[in-house]
């Protein structure tokens, strides 16, 4: 089967300050090394369960989060823009996963919580349901029938995933105590749990149908509401098939019958 893993640099064990995720700071590479280890644990777990697996790993952190040369060569490394845009190839995937994920903006005691940009966004909602980066990706996958079956990251990100997707397999790499504070698993223990749990998640794909994790689906018509920290004007250029309304000085509402037409990022 074919699997896609989305990654981020805020969720691995040991990462709790924004300075650890920025490419001009001294501990950035240490964070990248841990994310790479956790990705390799995930890839190993997938192959434990499915020796024929095809695994695509998206390096989702803005300035890069994975040390490509140290990543398990059995998986294909994908920079966000190349060589494959997973968001245009959902029909080829059987499951979607997250490694190194953080919680949505404004989640209490969630380390490094944000949605897209930590400087701009208060919340995003799909059909009235608050979603972060996890929920948006899971909704895109689910729209195309692909279940999101695994997440590793801080405990608040795990809770967010479990709220949206019943039965999703999760591994907490740390327990949030504040926006830049957490209690962490050791590097090796986080990897051990990720390998074991993602293998269980993969095996569940071929288990009894009633127990399989369902794709995250919202009912049409679709709405996507974005609230910004500062006053913002709705985009002026037309979006085909999308109705755009300015709800107030801070909030823009998009509506469409096709989820793929919404500017979900």
Q: Minimal CB distance to Zn ion: which residue?
A: 8
Nearest-approach distance from CB 134 to Zn ion, in angstroms: 9
Phi, then psi, of 260 in degrees rounded to 5: -65, -20
Nearer to Zn ion, 113 or 146 (CB): 113
DSSP string over the chain: -EEEEEE-SSSSTT--SGGGGSTTSTTHHHHHHHHHHHHHHHHHHHHHH-TT-EEEEEE-STT--S-GGGS-TTSEEEETTBS--GGG-GGG-SEEEEEEE-PPTT-TT-TT--SS-TTTEEEEEETTEE--HHHHHHHHHHHTT--EEEEEEEHHHHHHHHHHSTT-EEEEEEEEEETTEEEE--HHHHHHHHHHHHHHHHHHTTS-GGGSPPP---PSSEEEEEEESS--PPP-S--TT-EEEEEETTEEEEEESSGGGS---
Nearer to Zn ion, 117 or 186 (CB): 117
Nearer to Zn ion, 118 or 196 (CB): 118
Nearer to Zn ion, 8 or 38 (CB): 8
Nearest-approach distance from CB 137 to Zn ion, in angstroms: 10
Contacts of 221 (CB under 8 A, 6+ apart): 255, 256, 257
Nearest-approach distance from CB 158 to Zn ion, in angstroms: 15
Applying CB under 5 A, the span of 76-84, 128-136, 179-187, 199-207 interacting with Zn ion comes to: 128-136
Nearer to Zn ion, 8 or 225 (CB): 8
Residue of the chain from 8, 50, 59, 154 that contacts Zn ion (CB under 5 A): 8
Nearest-approach distance from CB 15 to Zn ion, in angstroms: 12
Applying CB under 5 A, the span of 47-55, 70-78, 125-133, 163-171 interacting with Zn ion comes to: 125-133
Nearest-approach distance from CB 168 to Zn ion, in angstroms: 18
Phi-psi region of 162 (alpha: psi -120 to 50; beta: other; left: phi over 0): alpha
**Should residue 155 be labelled a site residue for Zn ion when binding is judged by CB under 5 A?**
no
Nearer to Zn ion, 53 or 158 (CB): 158
Nearest-approach distance from CB 25 to Zn ion, in angstroms: 17
Nearer to Zn ion, 133 or 225 (CB): 133
Number of chain positions touching Zn ion (CB under 5 A): 2
Nearest-approach distance from CB 219 to Zn ion, in angstroms: 27
State the residues that interact with Zn ion by CB under 5 A: 8, 133
């Amino acid at each position: 089967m074919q699997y896609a893993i989305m990654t981020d640099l805020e969720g691995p064990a040991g990462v709790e300050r924004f300075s650890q995720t920025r490419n001009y700071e001294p501990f950035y590479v240490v964070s990248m090394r841990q994310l790479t280890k956790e990705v390799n644990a995930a890839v190993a777990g997938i192959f434990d369960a499915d020796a024929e697996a095809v695994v695509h790993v998206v390096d989702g952190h803005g300035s890069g989060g994975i040390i490509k040369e140290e990543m398990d060569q059995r998986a294909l490394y994908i920079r966000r823009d190349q060589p494959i845009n997973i968001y245009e190839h959902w029909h080829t995937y059987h499951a979607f996963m997250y490694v190194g994920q953080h919680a949505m903006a404004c989640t209490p005691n969630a380390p490094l919580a944000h949605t897209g940009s930590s400087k701009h966004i208060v919340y995003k909602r799909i059909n009235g349901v608050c979603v972060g980066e996890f929920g948006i990706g899971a909704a895109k996958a689910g729209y195309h029938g692909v279940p999101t079956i695994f997440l590793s990251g801080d405990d608040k990100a795990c809770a967010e995933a479990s709220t949206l997707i019943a039965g999703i397999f999760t591994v907490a790499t740390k327990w949030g105590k504040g926006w830049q504070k957490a209690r962490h698993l050791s590097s090796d223990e986080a990897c051990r749990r990720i390998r074991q749990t993602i293998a269980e998640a993969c095996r569940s794909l071929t288990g009894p149908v009633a127990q399989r994790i369902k794709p995250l689906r919202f009912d049409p018509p679709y709405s996507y509401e974005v609230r910004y920290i500062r006053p913002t004007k709705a985009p002026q250029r037309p979006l085909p098939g999308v109705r755009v309304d300015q709800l107030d000085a801070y909030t823009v509402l998009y509506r469409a019958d096709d989820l793929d037409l919404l500017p979900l990022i």
